[in-house]
Structure 1
Amino acid sequence: MNYLAIDIGGSAIKAGIISSEGVVLSKMVQSTPMTCYEDLLDSLTTIVKWAKTLVEIKGIALSQPCVTDQKTGQALSEGALIYITEKNPAKDLGEKFGLPYAAENDGNCAALAEIWVGNGKHVNNLALVVCGTGIGGSVIIDKNIVSGKRNFAGEFGMSIMSEDENGRPLNWSELGSTLALVLRYAKRTKTDPSTLNGKKIFELAEAGDQEAQYCIHHFFRIFAYGVHNIQHVYDPDLILIGGAISERPDFVAHIEDALDVLYSQMLGLMSRPTVGVCGSGNDANLIGAVYHLLHKQV
């Protein structure tokens, strides 16, 4: 049987036909409407219609960029989209098309993909960090998602990393996401951020752009802080990184270099994190959303 998975991101909506074995059969992508919930629902409806022209789909599975009620699929926070709070696109689509539906937070979806078919299937305790418009993630203990009292477990992007000159706290999403990398470079070079993305900044760095090199160094320094903090909260077997930027072949090497520098500056016994990337790559959210649907239909 085949299912439609939709990954709602802060800038793009990715969709795929996924088999019940976790195999990606077909994919498409389109821009995320930044206007209102009704426009988002129109875009999602178009995607469902696209999927139905290809195969018979047995359900709709959503990955959402916000805190999500695992049982109902309702968005509990705005996350990367201001208008999504208290909305339930999975339910709206499921009822419109008469199909089973489910929705889960994007970080948890990525983690579910890893324990199903990815690089986390051989460990019991796993932390997953998703890097994109913001920083999301998931906590897995004994192969089960830990959501916490208010469904905020794994929201690593809210971790305080520093403060500005006025004492305002700055979190990981603000300082160490792909968007933060873009905005930092744009500010330092007085460049329109709409003309940039993470890939472009890495290309500029490789071409010798010193500002790009500085921003990338800062990005990985913050990432080292983040994975160090996660490791010393509950000491997982493995920390996996997801998101498009993690597909760079040198991504883990950069984190390891940043950890080397960090630990050379610290005293005392440390539990150095074991870091890897998602085996499901940029499809992790799609695959994990289907895993959640298969086990948590609402």
Structure 2
Amino acid sequence: MKKYIGIDIGGTSVKYGLVDEKGSVSNKNSFKTKADDKTGLLDDLVEAVKEVQKIAPDVLGIGVSMPGVVQADGYLTTAGAIYGFYEINLKVLLEAKTGLPVKIENDANAAAIAEKWIGSAQGIHDYISLVLGTGVGGALVINDQIYRGAHARSGEFGWMIVEDDDIDVEMGSLNFRGATVIGLIRRYNQFSDEKIDDARIIFERADQDETLAKNVLKSYYHSLAKGIINLEVSFDPAAVIIGGGISANTEFLNDLNKMIESIKATHNSIKNLDLPEVKAAKLKNDAGMIGAVYQLINN
């Protein structure tokens, strides 16, 4: 069984583990991200690689998932909250320090391609992946390949404008209307005396017939549904897959699909089209490691 090292660099922590050629992850561990310390974080990554190599000396390479604008050659134009890694070629640096082949992939792209390997997109060649978290990230897969765009910025779906806001255009973007944190939770907290940090509370309160929770959820679904419809009519995917913690909520997915159908029914040009149903991503916390290793194997 061929084995690889998977690494998922996040703003708070770095997860890593052993990934085999079938996508199974074992021997997982993590450490705190030194986001502003280029040398310190790079040293920590090398130590993590050595730790996994003690368990599996025959690993064939390293797949790294991380935020930011990641060029195909491993150059990081940006790196999200990992400010110490801006404008470096992480692939070149890690290969020099470990002697192993390395593949660097944007985290949303990695999660999307992991779903193709062993998740909800198996057997699907053209699909859109959305990740709902603090903001809205995602990826566009065409003919089994990640579409990166001219500047490696494809998939920044959160920047789409889905509502009018004459004062601050960004407040009408999908990030601020359809994300879980700066969308749903932020908007609920705007009108609530009690501040919350868990979207599940909003769903619970809506089930208890709280007017604020019901209204905020309706507005949230409406904005997110419009964004998804825009993507569906633009790219004609066979599937739309949603990841992020909220995707595990079956009530959320059912109500979102109902809202999409409701909006579609009032749009004469598309009301008779067969748009794909939105479904949940299968893979959770390990998706970044799995997808980065998949890209390593196939590149």
After TM superposition, is the score higher than 0.5? yes
Structure 1 runs of 4+ with >6 Å offset? none
2:178 corresponds to which of 176, 179, 183: 176
Equivalent residue number for residue 187 of structure 1? 190
TM-score under structure 2 length normalisation: 0.84
1:275 maps onto 2:278 in alignment: yes
The size of the alignment, in residue pairs, is 293
Call closer, same or farther: CA 1:45–1:219 in 2, change over 3 Å: farther
Structure 1 segments unaligned to the other structure (5+ residues): none
8 Å CA contact 1:243–1:282 kept in 2: the answer is: no
1:243 maps onto 2:244 in alignment: yes
CA–CA distance in structure 1, aligned partners of residues 66 and 126 of structure 2: 23
Q: For the aligned residues, what is the CA RMSD?
A: 2.8
CA–CA distance in structure 2, aligned partners of residues 108 and 73 of structure 1: 14
Offset at 1:101?
Answer: 0.8
* Partner amino acid, structure 2, of 1:242: G
8 Å CA contact 1:139–1:153 kept in 2: the answer is: yes
1:285 maps onto 2:285 in alignment: no
Equivalent residue number for residue 78 of structure 2? 77
Structure 2 segments unaligned to the other structure (5+ residues): none
Greater Cα offset, 243-252 or 144-153: 243-252
Call closer, same or farther: CA 1:28–1:210 in 2, change over 3 Å: farther
Equivalent residue number for residue 62 of structure 1? 64
CA–CA distance in structure 1, aligned partners of residues 38 and 195 of structure 2: 27
Call closer, same or farther: CA 1:80–1:209 in 2, change over 3 Å: farther
Greater Cα offset, 272-281 or 212-221: 212-221
Call closer, same or farther: CA 1:289–1:259 in 2, change over 3 Å: same
* Partner amino acid, structure 1, of 2:260: L
CA–CA distance in structure 2, aligned partners of residues 41 and 260 of structure 1: 48
Partner of 1:281, secondary structure, is: coil
CA–CA distance in structure 2, aligned partners of residues 7 and 51 of structure 1: 14
Greater Cα offset, 123-132 or 156-165: 156-165
CA–CA distance in structure 1, aligned partners of residues 135 and 4 of structure 2: 27
CA–CA distance in structure 1, aligned partners of residues 49 and 118 of structure 2: 25
TM-score under structure 1 length normalisation: 0.84
Offset at 1:239?
Answer: 1.0
Offset at 1:133?
Answer: 2.5
* Partner amino acid, structure 2, of 1:75: L
Call closer, same or farther: CA 1:97–1:204 in 2, change over 3 Å: farther
Offset at 1:67?
Answer: 1.7
Partner of 1:160, secondary structure, is: coil
Offset at 1:264?
Answer: 4.0
Superposition pairs of residues 109-258 of structure 1, within 5 angstroms: 109-169=110-170, 170-180=172-182, 181-189=184-192, 196-199=197-200, 201-203=202-204, 205=206, 210-258=211-259
Call closer, same or farther: CA 1:76–1:43 in 2, change over 3 Å: same
- Structure 1 or 2, whichever has the larger Rg, is 2
C-alpha distance after superposition, 1:180-203 (max 9, x if no partner): 13333333335567xx24445545
